[in-house]
Structure 1
Amino acid sequence: MIKHTYDMGVIGNCAFLALIGTDTAVRWLCWPRFDSSFVFGPLLDEQKGGEYSIKPVDANFTSEQRYLTNTNVLSTTITTPEGSYRVTDFAPRFLQYERYYKPLMLIRKVEPLTGAPRVRVACRPVGQYGEQELTRRRSSNHIAFLGLEEEIRLTTNIPLTYVLDEEDFALNETKYLVLTYGAPLEAPLESTAERFLLNTEGYWRNWVKSTSIGNFHQTQVIRSALALKIHQYEDTGAIIAASTTSLPEAPGSTRNWDYRYCWMRDTYYTLTAFNNIGHFEEIERYFQYIANISTKVVGKYQPLYGIGGQATLTETELPLAGYLGNQPVRIGNDAYTHIQNDVYGQVLVALLPLYTDCRFRDPERAVPLSLVEECLRLIEATMDQPDAGLWEFRHIAQKHCYTYLFHWAGSHAARQVARQHGDVLLEEFATRLLQEAESRIEQCFYAERGAYANAIGSTDFDASTIQLITMGYLDPASEKAKHHLVELEKELKTPEGLFYRYRHPDDFGTPETTFLICSFWYVEALACVGRLDDAIREFEHLISYANHLGLLSEDVDAKTGSQWGNFPQAYSHVGLVNAAYRIAKKLDRPNFVS
């Protein structure tokens, strides 16, 4: 069987993201926000998705794509029988006037390298997910595309006639293309593009220098950190699961979801990743996003919210062809209506540093202590309520072990806060809930196998229970923890070393592909229980499932090694960062436990 990979690179500046194919085509770009309609979306429909490419006339070409070292600046080199050229793509980001300059601007630098290659530039943005064609207006040195809320403008030193007519031309000098949404480029083209490129390279390299990354597979960890960084929507601090929608978990599965939102259930892992690489700024912004949502919640938390904190994310299907013909194409995500009760513990664990970390002593940013009590009351109210669980089952409700784990962890965090503030009543409340959650977790213990099942009364296994070890509920040095991990291996690990989320049927049948973050959880657990050699071996195997640029998808087909699911998947990169950190700590301090 043919191995499927996403042959694309991602660029971004914390205001927008774009996916660039190895043929120079912009496969995906949403403006003005991560969750807006695409303006280029051939990833989901070649006919309706518009086009923005700088392709050679000769179809017989080869391509080499790489990132400039320690940056999110992408370089694609095209070689044809006539000659070769390089396209450098980037989203400007650098410090200016004591703020980050991060415009809705995609800059493309096109350099001839050898010979006299002939190229053809196409630029046809669209609106309303391909339903709206834009009007073109030619000006002196730019082309304006009209019809959206704001103007899209292409400023270039390529003859506009060649671009408008999509006529090929000889590339014999460096050309620049600056595409903007809203505020246009009103400065010299060549010198500004070069200055922005230099400043953007400098910004990313300084950002990498400020990370705390050990020597264990440092290159891959850096790439994952860079990818994770640009999935944060800096305006609000939200971190999205992925930049795309409707890339299928497996071909023909109809498991095609919109991941351009912020899942509360993943806050703990994401914040842990940024903490592990020593990046406080991103943590602080994410805290602010979570705290903002927390202070306006009434009654219950949703599993996910929009990047601006929107609560309603109505799921609809679009009349698009779909990625490689996979339908439906969905925008919005009905999971916002689900009951996922682990979210309360996630919020408490995530917000813990706001109350206990001395770096957050700004009283204007303080979160009311009543928020902790409110989350505890929600844990108390839902202690015996079945829910959709971590994996968002649409028609299955159980009393999930993972939910109780976060009831336990959240209560533990709340108790720390109470002690810090000398609130005896709150401490007693948190302690009681912690003990209740622990009793429910033990009800999930499947004595016949000597391991924890996915839910009370169930005999099915779920990779999320790996977290019983990595979060410290089970002593990683105990035989119980080691045996639990062995039983999960028997049930969920493939011969290729990958992990399924679960193997029992759900609303859409039995999962066909493995889930990468579960495999990284497994690596962490191996390190925790002292199987360090196994952890290293499995980690090194997992990173082989990255694409040519080191980018990870959500899912992997164990038999073919194919990438599936939305891409790049921020939480796969979170998993990699956390697993590498766990191993590095063990290598540095062999006696370190957990």
Structure 2
Amino acid sequence: MAKHTYETGLVGNCAFLAHINKNTNVSWLCWPRFDSTFVFGNMLDKEKGGEFSILPDEEYTSNQYYLENTNVLCTEISTSRGKYRITDFAPRFYQYERYFKPLMLIRKIEPLEGLPRIKVKCEPVCDYGRRKQKARRGSNHIDYAGCDETMRLTTNIPLSYIIDEQFFQLSEPKYLLLSYGDPLEAPLVSTAESFLRFTTQYWRTWIKHSSIAGYFQPYVIRSALVLKIHQYEDTGAIIAASTTSLPEHPGSTRNWDYRYCWLRDTYYVLTSLNHIGHFEEMERYFNYVSDISFSEGEDFRYQPLYGITGKKKLYEEIMDHLDGYMGDKPVRVGNQAYEHIQNDIYGQVLISLLPLYTDHRFVFNERKDSVRWIESLLSKIERTIDEKDAGIWEFRNMANIHCYSNLFQWAGCKAALKMALTIGNKQLEDKATQLMERAAAHIESCYDPVRKVYTNAANSPHLDASTLQLIMMGYLDPSSQKAKDHLSALEKELKTPNGLFYRYLHADDFGKPKTTFLICAFWYVEALACVGRLDDAQREFENLMKYCNHLLLFSEDVDEADGSQWGNFPQAYSHVGLMNAAYRIAIKLDRPVFL
């Protein structure tokens, strides 16, 4: 089987995300929110997923690229008769003292060479492909009805050509503006052009205002742009990925819905954005987490994940009517992991928001609820610190005292201690110190003195890449022999000949893993840099760059055998890993940070 890569690019504006395939089709678009039903879902079913394509009447080749330093995507189609370019984007820019981010996908089609003949096909669906929307002709638009809201396609292409799916000669620029709910009430061409100009300017300004070190900059810039559009700005939530049910490996049945906010993932995301100097996202997320914290009332648990509005019940449903990605079932909507006990997340939340208290660019006393909030999280750690849990990898039927969970309880208490010192609260200082000691005792129960390594859990022989974080979080002194021995033991067992890294190799609820988890390889790079093996870190980092697709986008999983991309895509976790590893190396190399 040939190497598998995802042939799509991603556009978005922090209100919605859309995948555009190299074949011009909008293969994934959920409206009105990240977690809504798809209106185009060809990615998961060729027949029921609908279609929005702009194809020629003959064989073609495709070249796809982003306008530099933007989330504006270009797809160039070349045929024997001519060549044309499609520019896809989701409008986003600042006006009237707020961000304009409509539920609107704009597609500009322009001839580049010759006189190509093209056909536009627009067939949106609803209710996860159970129904097709009905097209109704207007004066200069087509309305699509039959779902919760009407969608409108406004265009300067003859409507008959679209409704009849008829080829026509492309001799001048044409525009397709698809909107959800409110239709366009403005001139088409001038509006589309101004939106394109303003959106391009917005993204380039956002990047210019980023502090990115001079180490693999193009990859870090693309990763930053990807991460930014995974934030649902309306509430501040940051999702793991825009897709559902892209398999971790063909036939594995590890097909999960990632369109939700994992509190753990968000810590890594915010750390990476913090590294490049973007704090607006952190403050929005703080509000999202605060809303969750204080809506829980007396409930002492956080869930591992929530909906983008803080919704708690994410019932998992299998969509039997859909074929699945490349015929790989099941297709899942919702995620049963919301029921899991995962006790690292309280610490993750504390650490992710620590800069709001320790970075002097923030005015910490503006946060009137600080004492109550820190006290609440420390109480959650206190009540869960001795429990077995499902761990970072969300084992569905296995519970342990996990090293990783206790590490982040330790690190969270360390963060709370710093916060308590900042706000001058001695009672919180004492409580944080006491809990740090209890968490450390659990971590030490995972140490194997014979192999000189920390195992994944107390009384377990298994190794786990997540324990690399013992080094990055400063639990182990990176210059110590203990840290170097721990890294060497993990490297020996979990690293593959091609420089990838398995999460673990023991069997879980679904058998033994068949693909590597890309973030683990980036953690490995970070750990190498931390312990001073800088040449190794650079070599391994450079090797990982080959696992992206044609647009520098990375998946969740990579097949060790052939380098194939699998899992949900693009995966925020993987791009975070890249950014944090690049930052760690740049700091060690003393590379300049460009502001």
Q: Among 412, 434, 437, which residue is 1:435 paired with?
A: 437
**Structure 1, 252-261 or 185-194: larger mean CA deviation:** 185-194
Contact 1:240 1:260 in 2 (8 A): yes
- Deviation string 1:508-546 (CA, Å, 9 cap, x unpaired) is 000000001111111000000001111111111111100
Q: State which of 444, 468, 471 in structure 2 corresponds to 1:469.
A: 471
Deviation at 1:134, TM superposition (A): 1.4
Q: Which residue of the partner structure matches residue 17 of structure 2?
A: 17
The letter of the residue matching 1:231 is: H
1: distance between equivalents of 2:34 and 2:549?
22
Deviation at 1:402, TM superposition (A): 0.2
Give the SS at the match of 1:293: helix
Mapped partners of 2:201, 2:357: distance in 1: 35
> Does structure 1 retain, via aligned residues, the 8 Å contact 2:282–2:353?
no
Give the structure 2 partner of residue 313 of structure 1. Answer: 314
SS at match of 1:345: helix
Task: Give 2:244's aligned residue.
Answer: 245
Deviating more after overlay: 427-436 vs 368-377: 368-377
Partner of 2:257: 258
Maintained 8 Å contact 1:291/1:351: no
The match for 1:397 is: 399
Contact 2:456 2:464 in 1 (8 A): yes
Q: Alpha-carbon deviation of 1:368? A: 3.6
Distance in 1 between the 2:398 and 2:180 partners? 43
Runs of 5+ in structure 2 lacking a partner?
none
Q: Write the letter of the residue equivalent to 1:96.
A: Q
C-alpha separation between the residues in 2 aligned to 1:366 and 1:272? 24
Whole-angstrom CA distance in 1 between matches of 2:532 and 2:359: 30
For residues 504-543 of structure 1, the aligned pairs below 5 Å read: 504-543=506-545
Structure 2: distance between partners of 1:111 and 1:517: 39
Q: Is the 8 A contact 2:548 2:555 kept in 1?
A: yes
Q: Following the alignment from structure 1 to structure 2, what is the Cα–Cα distance between the partners of residues 221 and 231? A: 16
**Cα distance, 1:352 vs structure 2:** 2.4
Q: Does structure 2 retain, via aligned residues, the 8 Å contact 1:5–1:562?
A: yes
Residue type of the alignment partner of 1:310 = K
Query: Aligned to 2:64, what secondary structure does the other structure show?
Result: strand
What 5-or-longer segments of structure 1 have no aligned partner? none
Letter in 2 for 1:66: Y
Distance 2:156 2:519 in 1: 45
From 433, 446, 449, the counterpart of 1:447:
449
Question: Would you say 1:132 and 2:131 are equivalent positions?
Answer: yes
Q: TM-score, normalised by structure 1?
A: 0.98
- 1:216/1:527 CA distance change after superposition, 3 Å: same
Q: Distance in 1 between matches of 2:165 and 2:591?
A: 60
CA distance in 1, matches of 2:423, 2:85: 59
One-letter identity of the residue aligned with 1:309: G
Counterparts of 1:290 and 1:515 in 2: how far apart (Å)? 27
Asked if 1 retains the 8 angstrom alpha-carbon contact of 2:119 and 2:168, the reply is yes
Query: Partners in 2 of 1:178 and 1:268 — Cα distance?
Result: 36
Supply the AA of the counterpart residue of 2:86: V
Query: Percent sequence identity over matched residues?
Result: 65
**AA aligned opposite 2:363:** R
1:28-39 to 2 correspondences below 5 Å: 28-39=28-39
How much does 1:270 deviate? 1.2
For residues 284-307 of structure 1, the C-alpha deviation after alignment (integer angstroms, 9 at most, x for no partner) is: 111211122122222210000000
How far does residue 362 in structure 1 lie from its aligned partner after superposition? 7.0
Return the alpha-carbon distance in structure 2 between the equivalents of residues 355 and 283 of structure 1. Answer: 12
Q: TM-score, normalised by structure 2?
A: 0.97
RMSD: 1.2
Q: How do residues 265-276 of structure 1 correspond to structure 2 at under 5 angstroms?
A: 265-276=264-275
Select which of 322, 325, 328 maps to 1:326: 328
Secondary structure at the residue paired with 2:27? strand
**Could you tell which deviates more after superposition, 472-481 or 353-362?**
353-362
Q: Check the 8 A contact 2:390/2:398 in 1, yes or no.
A: yes
Q: Is the 8 A contact 1:291 1:367 kept in 2?
A: no
Number of residue equivalences: 589
Q: Which residue of 2 aligns with 1:568?
A: 570
Letter in 2 for 1:32: P
Is the partner of 2:353 in helix, strand or coil? Answer: helix
**Contact 1:136-1:146 within 8 A present in 2 as well:** yes
- Matched residue, 1:285: 284
Deviation track 1:466-515 (CA, whole Å, cap 9, x = no partner) reads 00001111000001101100100111100000001100000000000000
CA shift, 1:589, in A, is: 7.2
| Residue in structure 1 matched with residue 379 of structure 2 by the alignment | 377
Alpha-carbon distance in 1 for matches of 2:561, 2:63 = 27
State whether residues 213 and 591 of structure 2, in contact with CA within 8 Å, keep that contact through their aligned partners in structure 1.
Answer: no
After TM superposition, give the deviation of residue 422 of structure 1 in Å: 2.4
* Distance (whole Å) between structure 1 residues aligned to residue 355 and residue 402 of structure 2: 27
1:212 matched residue in structure 2: 211
Letter matched to residue 134 of structure 2: T
Whole-Å separation in 2 of the counterparts to 1:445 and 1:501: 18
- SS of residue matched to 2:77: strand
Q: 1:295 is paired with a residue of what secondary structure?
A: helix
Partners of 1:364 and 1:145 in 2: how far apart?
47
C-alpha distance in 2, partners of 1:460/1:551? 32
AA partner of residue 7 (structure 2): D
Q: Which residue is 1:190 aligned to?
A: 189
Distance 1:362 1:478, change over 3 A: closer
CA distance in 2, matches of 1:507, 1:136: 46
CA contact (8 A) 1:24 1:54 kept: yes
Contact 1:446 1:453 in 2 (8 A): yes
Instruction: Supply the distance in 2 between the matched residues of 1:369 and 1:351 (Cα, whole angstroms).
Output: 14
For 2:21, the aligned partner's letter is G
